[in-house]
Structure 1
Amino acid sequence: MSNEHYLSNPLIHRDRRLGRRHNDWVKQFDCTHMRPLIICRGPIRKEAMDVFAEMGIDTFGILLSEKDSIVYKNALAPELRSLTDPDRVHRVPDYTGANKEERDQRIKQIINIARENDYNSIFAGYGFMAEDETMVAAMEKAGLKFIGPCSRTVHDAGLKDEAKRTALKAGVSVTPGIDNGTALTLLKKHPDVAALKALVASEGLDVDAAALDDSTIELADKADMVLAASYVKGIDLYTVDELCETLTEAVEKMAADYPENRIRLKAISGGGGKGQRILPIGQSARTPEMVREILNEVKTTGVGDNKNVLVELNIETTRHQEIQAIGNGVWSMSMGGRDCSLQMHEQKLLEVSVTVESLQAAIEQAEAAGKAKEAQVLRQDLETLEAMEDEAARFGEAVGLDSVSTFECIVDRDKHFFMEMNTRIQVEHRVTELCYALHFANPDNPNESFEVESLVELMVLLAAHGPKLPKPTRRVRHNDSVEARLNATNQALQPSAGGVIEYWSDAIDGEIRDDQGISLHNPDTDVFMKYTLAGAYDSNIALLLTVGDTRLDTYERMAEVIRQTTMRGKDLATNLEFHYGLVNWFIGQNINARPTTRFIVPYLTAVGQLKQQGNNMDLGYAWSQICASALAGLEGDAARAQKQALEQKQTLLLRPLEILLHEPHILSGWLSINHDSYTMIDGKISWNENPIELLADTYHFLNMDYAPGDPAASMIWDHDNEILQQALDFYAELNNRLDAEDWIELQTALEAEAAPEGIDDALWAQIRAAHAGYQAGTELLGVLPSIAEYTGFYELSVNDDLTIHIPERLLDENLQDAMAKVLVPPPVAKSDEILAESGGMFYGRETPEAELYIQEGDHFEAGDPLYIVEVMKMFNKVYAPFAGTVDQVLIDTDGVIISKGQPLFKITPDEKIEVESPEEIAARRRASTSVFLEQLI
């Protein structure tokens, strides 16, 4: 759903494709013979459906997991709202299966579905088995075209250990670490070629004997050959305990070599945040625990599974950047970059384009503004981008890339390291395709050509006609683009499944919305159809994108899109407010800031501190004190006039402030773009701009502009709007008459009792009285910056060299955990029970073979693990908030769906939990408010 989409003008789009038939060279690339089965879900499935239809591909079907529709009541894949032909919808229990055996069964099932329904190709998108070499090879063997990289590329580039070795051979910079833990484990037991040969013979493995005797092949590579044969046969040559021992040794050695860095553990088959853990400094003993968690998360715990886990140095100032790579098996090229550093728990949140054109323009702007350090950083970024693009193209050729893939790197100032190649299209692929189109021209006649704007379309072209496609050139569409992932998460960015979207405003001008079809209205009634967010898979609801000539343009358009977006529903929690705050934080700070992957948690912690102080603010009490101060010393008519003015403005001032204090993410955005609106003078807030104009801007910022006919709850009220407009008109006229350059100059003029030239004394007295009335009570606005000052919110800032200064306190894990609970308070529990912190799937143990974390009669300490909840593909371990003894376990089966607030354990706490009374809460809030009032009155 979008009104600025590559499908936004079907006539133009269709004419462009029909144009291919104008000559024989173009006509040969027609793809209408393709009949794909789509085996992915989410926004990419709907996008593929749209692109296929626009390409004239009339026959395609979708695979539909039962988990898309039965985990939560009334949850239904939204694509079914447009694809209503039941013969094109093929149901399976789930997309991949829980283990290797079930995955193999699913692959066979997909092949049978394709054969029985006359599909000749498979589109796997960016999820599930999109990078599964076994599946891709099976599809190829079955005679199906796989719309994506071939099995050779998936093997050489997709498996993280193989990719690292290939990168080294291709001269690509890689992260320090080991990529062959399984080989090293095997060599401990079978330390030479003779021992490996004996193992091959005893297990009956299919290994090339000549390769084992080849002296040019490293011993570790020979061990990998033996392991590969064991995976094919489906047997284990090492135990998980033995692997953990090897990996622990590697971690300890790396920790000794790099004592100031943490260590990253990463499954070779992980992706999208799954299968990765970061070991804190000095905690190498936790390696076995984390390895088991990783293997369980990526479902490689079965006999014969490749259980290799990489051990890598964690670059602490990491910026996560990736290069879009494409190829046809012969040529390979890049299509610019994306910065994906704004992420949490390896889950990307906001992704922004990185292009040569954008960086060049930013360098020119920085130089013109005299920002030498910023220009220097941007020039280095340009140099790094060009180097990464070159390496991506070379790596693509080395692995025979014949489709679309992503070359991922980590960047640390002037250094970059290859991390992995994702042999699939990425969630954020549209960030790239909105910046560049591809121009294909006949090498013998440049006048015969066509352009491709969609990477999904390009994947189809490469699958159908790859070897014939000449290497294209890229054409700039937009200098910049940005994508915000709209997820079903709470204010602490924790997954929140099961909510119902009951209303979602339509996309506005300039908004590009990929929402899986959720926004489709009922074709008969034009009414929005409710949608239940299932929790079986990831938390993504939609992808919101904007474009611009500069990064600032792009972010400002994104802020405007989110400002005008309204979404309502039952038990609905999304990160929409988070994105509004974050985007405005960068607009208010420096749009060229270079955040690292560690930025989001400290940022959330700062937002949590805003919320904590907001919770302690009693606005009603603050208003009464401000009114009392304004009326002090006044008598008679003056007192009555001032009192009336204050009474009339109470809701005008309190309503937006109540919203901002209740919504800390939105408050973060407001504070960020209004940082320059005040100055602290002698410990008090002094406004640099007219508080009335700031108030009007605040209503606009909150999307509460006056709109007759809209619900009163969502806009400024009639009488408040009348007062506000009168005040704005008054100051507009006053500015014209006095010709004041700014608010400070106007205030200074109004403080004088003597009338300025051109205004008589009587009129001047009326003007000053009106000014006093309009300004009455506006001191309350100072509550917002005073909270920012109190919490040190503005200390989180962008340096001249574009790095971000993160105050040390925001890196404290205890504070981070505490502020996450402030943002999302745990369910209120009785003193004798522990409730589920979120909905999802309950597991009482680390792995199926492990012991339960706690059982009836067990004593637990604060910080001990209690259970794991799997929600939207992430495994979250929950720890005890206090010490106690388990009286009863209320959930005794793994894999059970639980809901937020559901009692899980009956317990007896070691210490009595003190509960604050309502009177104590009120007194505490008044006392806290009084501290802030000292800055206002």
Structure 2
Amino acid sequence: MSQASDFYLNNPLTHRARRLSGAASEWVRSFSCEDLKPLIVCRGPIRKEAMDVYQEMGITHYGILLSEKDSIVYPTALAPELRQLTDSNRVHRVPDYTGASKEERVERIHQIIEIAQDNGYDSIFAGYGFMAEDEEFVAEIEKAGLTFIGPCANTQARAGKKDEAKRTALTVNVSVTPGVNNVTALTLLKKHPTREKLLALVKAEGLVCDAKVLKDAKVSLEALADHVLTASYAKGIDLFTIEELCAQVQNEVAELFRNYPRNRFRLKAIGGGGGKGQRIVGAALLAAKNADEKVIAKAAAEAPAMVREILNEVKANGVGDNKNILIELNIEQTRHNEIQLLGNGEWCIALGGRDCSLQMHEQKLLEVSVTQESLAEAIAKAKAAGRKEEVAALESDLKVLQRMEEESARFGQAVGLDSASTFECIVDRDRHYFMEVNTRIQVEHRVTELCYSLKFVNPKNKNDFFVVESLVEAMALLARHKKRLPKPERIVRFNAAVEARLNATDASLSPHAGGMIRYWSKPIEGEIRDDQGISMLNPDTAVFMKYKVAGAYDSNIALLLTKGEDRFASYEHLSEVLRSTTLRGSALATNLEFHYGLVNWFLGRNVMAKPTTRFVVPYLTLVGTLKEEANRLDPVYAFLQMKKHYDKLVCEQYADQPEVCARERKHMSALLDRKGTLITRPMERLLGDPHLLSGWLSMNTINFRIEKGRVIWLRNPLGVLNETYEYMHMSYRPHKPAAEIIWNHDNELLQQSLHFYRTLREKLGLARDEYFQLNELLKKEQPQGGFDAEEWDQIRSAHFGYEAGLELLGMLFLVGGNTRFWDMHVQDDLEIVIPDYLTDPDLQARMKKILVPPPATKADEIVAACGGMYYGQEAPGLPMFVYEGMHFEKDQPLYIIEVMKMFNTIKATFSGTIDKIIMDGGDGTIVQKGQPLFKITPDEKFVEVDPKVLEREKRERTAEYLKAVI
């Protein structure tokens, strides 16, 4: 077995499930699941996890679905799990997991059930994707006599549909977000506004409705309309057009804008998930000084296009589909918290929370555990440190968490939850609102697993019990033993856990499909890596197998998790994991550097900070300003100019001693030359990667200050330089290529310098952090610390030599100062201050281009902004966005790119005329980033900047920085 395989099977943090059949207790043995025969119909990390867990549970008869997109359309994206599951009889091929249309989806459901029945499977596990929350799929499974490993069809109907869940929440006294949850009923009532007309519609269309509901005059018109709509879905007909629905949504949005001035609203498909089927409308209202009727009408007019995009994304645009869309107040300063639930239909238990606020494009990026135990410990530490405002903020979070856990368990019981689900809320300071329930296991479920295990105790003997640490195992237990399973007790495993989603995105977090992974470093100790087995070595050759990151599905490559005694420890360990991770490939882009910078931003500020869902875009914008400023600097030129500065100092010192001057100039030049690459290599790398620079600046906030435009060091810059090499994973390691580490001669000089200062501090009786006091002593000509005059002169001379040139590092601090980097900060009450300028849409768009410059293009063409599936119209049957000879304006939609299951409308960044459409192929064609789409004539000519002018400006800017550090 390969070394990577050993890691996956033997790591105690990944080895979670156990065989119960061998237990000493008869009661424990009775909960064995070895006779379960599941078919796994999901992909990605959860499929690999399910395979491992089932194997550990002793379940031998399991199989997987394999989409042809995994093996034919993208041949090198072949499921890595097949290196482990080599029995071809347990691998079942389908064209796609869900199909591209409603008809294909229905066909796939029946195909999956047929595969299960023909191959002896008795159950189906859908993980957290594709059909995991599909009520129709689950109902068909149950009808076929199979078991769905997840919430049953009844629970899916009551909790999985966002509109129905919201109604249930209201009936059991769970706080919900203001908005409209029955826009389809209102659309129907627009056409048939009375009870009589609705009843006539039922008769005309031959709809099968409940006679009691139709006759009951107490049933409200809106409830009656909902009932009629449900009957229409069963018959597979539409009672209104998508255009009529869009018009109603536009009207409702406009009215909500009037009732909630200067607020945006979120449009959500009732069957969406994972960020799909959601759009936010009303951006213009935030920017407008006065939200008058004209502004409201313009903002509301954006809604119809968004509705069509949403329905396309969740494949609910077919005849007879439930097209209901929720319209919810978008609480701007909100955190996204969720509670893990588990139930068996009779009992329901909450397993703590997760903060998922760090997200973008509705896609979560970093997820952090939130438990009552960890908050209580953090409160105690803050009290001991005298941080009163932090104590109050954490106590508020604890109260909110307790309320959310209590409400979630109550909701779970109300819908008869019989498996794992997630109760999602938005939190606004000391208030929370129920958002939705995901009737499936979540991508971030492992965060909860690391914090809590489940202890199932024999009701007749408290000493007879078994412990479950895997939610996938718990779901199998519930599916197999249902209400026999007693309500478990939750037991703390670790106080904190955090998960980073390693995604195929570029530096601006835009999707980047199509890259090839050719190498992935081994996991470090304590790292939990759920990566679908991509980093497993070939079991026959023990070499890494290349893997194509296809754009057919979501952008996730891996889930990287760590745990710790508190949040700080888990963040520190995650930082170490990210620092140690090396990914290499061709056309490959990931958010690895983003995560590393972000994690260190919090480590340098306060890991208990309360980011909102609005944090990431302003943060990215701030990182973009770092990149823009860094692009204007040349550290090598700065080093050469600094050499001239020292040469001048020597000349001034020995102006009356020409021979001594010549000798000292030569000596100083040689000394600085030895340090050239030691100083400039890390500077060039930090200036070249703004995400790394962001984390570095945060971690070094305490090591300097800027006074009157000049950098003042508060710590020995040699120590900072040494930690900088460690931060960038460039510390000396003999087995690593020279390009990736500090060079040997630079390392010798650095270690020699550090040894000098360690020894000197010991001799002078100074602590490690007493740099200021050491500096003051070394300024004195009178010998200190018992040294004689000759020794003291040598020490002072060595000190000057070791620190000469390190002033250049201060340029990095000035980049932070000149970009107002520290204006975004964490307050004592843990709220994060986001400067207003970082929320400016124009600046955000410009900084996105700074982080990832648009693909190279000619002045007379428009090229694909990213790789993916091209669509030239908003929806089938609608007009094309552009045609030859058409004049387009700035911000006008030009085309749609579907990538990672998300529809991205690409708008013009300037105005011009379409001369020719050169895109080869129609809708659904796969295009590559930078591929020419249209020949155009821009309204304004683009003027290229002379490279010589840019170089001159760069040197002038660098010279300005030098003045502040030397």
User: Would the TM-score normalized by the shorter structure come out above 0.5?
Assistant: yes
> 1:82-231 to 2 correspondence within 5 Å?
82-231=84-233
**Number of the residue aligned with 1:713:** 739
The answer on 1:668 being equivalent to 2:694 is yes
Q: CA deviation at 1:10?
A: 11
Report the CA distance between 1:20 and its aligned residue.
5.6
| Offset from partner CA, 1:263-308 (integer Å, 9 cap, x none) | 1111101111111111122411111111111111111111001100
Match of 2:814 in 1: 786
- In the other structure, the counterpart of 1:894 is 923
Structure 1 gap segments, 5+ residues each: none
| Counterpart position of 2:945 | 916
How far off is 1:19 after superposition?
A: 6.5
State the alpha-carbon separation in 2 of the partners of residues 117 and 73 from structure 1. Answer: 26
What is the CA deviation profile of residues 614-634 of structure 1, one whole-angstrom value per residue up to 9, with x for unaligned ones? 111111221111111122131
Aligned match of 1:383: 399
Structure 2 CA distance for aligned equivalents of residues 117 and 757 of structure 1? 83
Matches within 5 A, 1:440-451: 440-451=456-467
Match of 1:456 in 2: 472
**Cα distance in 2, alignment partners of residues 427 and 11 from structure 1:** 15
On the 8 A contact 2:340/2:350 being kept in 1, the answer is yes
Alignment match, 1:682: 708
User: Is it true that 1:743 corresponds to 2:746 in the alignment?
Assistant: no
| Equivalent residue in structure 2 for 1:286, among 302, 311, 316 | 302
Conservation of the 8 A alpha-carbon contact between 2:187 and 2:248: yes
1:708-767 alpha-carbon deviations (Å, 9 max, x no partner): 121101111011011101101111111111223411111111111221141111111111
Q: Which residue of 1 aligns with 2:263?
A: 261
Check the 8 A contact 1:51/1:457 in 2, yes or no: yes
**Does the 8 Å contact 2:764/2:785 carry over to 1?**
no
Which shifted more, 442-451 or 634-643? 634-643
Match of 2:359 in 1: 343
Partner Cα distance (1:912, 1:6) in 2 = 60
Q: Name the CA distance, whole Å, in 2 between partners of 1:208 and 1:620.
A: 80
Give the whole-Å Cα distance in 1 for the aligned partners of 2:642 and 2:15. 61
Aligned to 1:729: 755
- The residue aligned with 1:812 is 840
What CA distance in whole angstroms lies between the structure 2 residues aligned with 1:191 and 1:918?
Answer: 68
TM-score where L is the length of structure 1: 0.98
Tell me, yes or no, if the aligned pair for 2:16 and 2:468 is still in contact at 8 Å.
no
1:175 deviation in Å? 0.3
Matches of 1:424 and 1:92, distance apart in 2: 22
**1:774 corresponds to which residue?**
802
- Confirm or deny that 1:756 pairs with 2:772: no
Q: Is the 8 A contact 2:16 2:469 kept in 1?
A: no
Which residue of structure 2 lines up, in the alignment, with residue 573 of structure 1? 589
Which one-letter code corresponds to 2:567 in the other structure? R
SS of residue in 2 equivalent to 1:266? strand
SS of alignment partner, residue 492 of structure 1: coil
Change (3 A) 1:263 1:724: same
* Conservation of the 8 A alpha-carbon contact between 1:890 and 1:904: yes
Q: CA deviation at 1:72?
A: 3.4
Question: Which one of 32, 40, 43 corresponds to residue 42 of structure 2?
Answer: 40
Does the Cα contact within 8 Å between 1:320 and 1:410 map onto a contact in 2?
Answer: yes
Gaps of 5+ in 2: 286-295, 651-660
Question: 1:620 maps to which residue?
Answer: 636
| CA separation of 1:179 and 1:262: change in aligned 2, threshold 3 A | same
In 2: Cα distance, 1:12 partner to 1:844 partner: 48
Q: Tell me which of 856, 860, 871 is aligned to 1:843.
A: 871
Residue by residue over 1:183-237, the C-alpha shift from the partner in whole angstroms, topping out at 9 and shown as x without a partner, is 1111222223322221111111111111221244332222111111111111000
Q: Which amino acid aligns with 2:928?
A: S
Tell me what 1:588 maps to.
604
- Alpha-carbon distance in 2 for matches of 1:699, 1:863: 44
Work out the number of aligned pairs and report it: 936
Question: CA 1:73/1:919 → structure 2, altered by over 3 Å: closer, same or farther?
Answer: farther
Instruction: Point out the more displaced range, 97-106 or 473-482.
Output: 97-106
Distance in 2, matches of 1:880 and 1:247, equals 26
Matched residues in 2 for 1:756 and 1:531: separation? 62
Number of the residue aligned with 1:866? 894
Asked if the contact 2:36–2:480 (Cα under 8 Å) also holds between the matched residues in 1, the reply is yes
- CA deviation vs aligned residue, 1:536-563 (integer Å, no higher than 9, x gap): 0000000000001100011000001111
Tell me, yes or no, if the aligned pair for 1:36 and 1:60 is still in contact at 8 Å: yes
CA shift for structure 1 position 524: 2.7
**For residue 644 of structure 1, what is the aligned residue in structure 2?**
670
Contact in 2 for aligned 1:320/1:409 (Cα 8 Å): yes
Identify which of 414, 432, 447 aligns with 2:430. Answer: 414
Q: Corresponding residue for 2:655?
A: none
- Distance in 2 (CA, whole Å) between partners of 1:584 and 1:373 is 23
Alignment TM-score, normalising by the size of structure 2: 0.95
Match of 2:523 in 1: 507
Q: Does 1:517 align with 2:533?
A: yes
Give the 3-state SS of the residue equivalent to 2:105 in structure 1: helix
Residues 6 and 256 of structure 1, relative CA distance in 2, 3 Å threshold:
farther
2:324 partner amino acid: N
Aligned pairs for 1:322-361 within 5 A: 322-361=338-377
% identical aligned pairs: 59
Measure the CA separation in 1 of the matches of 2:684 and 2:813.
14
Contact 2:76 2:546 survives alignment (8 Å): no
User: In structure 1, what is the Cα distance between the partners aligned to 2:9 and 2:711?
Assistant: 49
RMSD of the TM alignment (CA)? 1.5
The residue type paired with residue 359 of structure 1 is: L
Q: What's the secondary structure of 2:124's corresponding residue?
A: strand
Distance 2:260 2:15 in 1: 57
1:2–1:514 contact (8 Å) kept in structure 2: no
Further displaced range: 39-48 or 16-25: 16-25
The answer to whether residue 635 in structure 2 is matched with residue 607 in structure 1 is no
Amino acid at match of 1:685: V
**Is the 8 Å Cα contact of residues 264 and 278 (structure 1) preserved in structure 2?**
yes
Deviations 1:148-195 (Å, cap 9, x if unpaired)? Answer: 000010000000000000000011000001100111111222223322
Matched residue type, 1:378:
L
Pick which of 894-903 and 883-892 moved more. 883-892
Deviates more, 1:276-285 or 1:799-808: 276-285
Q: Distance in 2 between matches of 1:607 and 1:638?
A: 42
Deviations 1:757-790 (A, max 9, x none): 4111111111111111111111110111000000
How far the C-alpha of 1:2 sits from its partner, in A, is: 8.9
Matched residue SS, 1:740: coil
Q: Secondary structure at the match of 2:302?
A: helix
1:469 counterpart residue number: 485
CA separation in 2, counterparts of 1:435 and 1:678? 37
Q: In 1, distance between residues paired with 2:328 and 2:760?
A: 65
What is the distance in 2 between the residues matched to 1:32 and 1:162?
36
Q: Retained in 2: the 8 A contact 1:69–1:534?
A: no
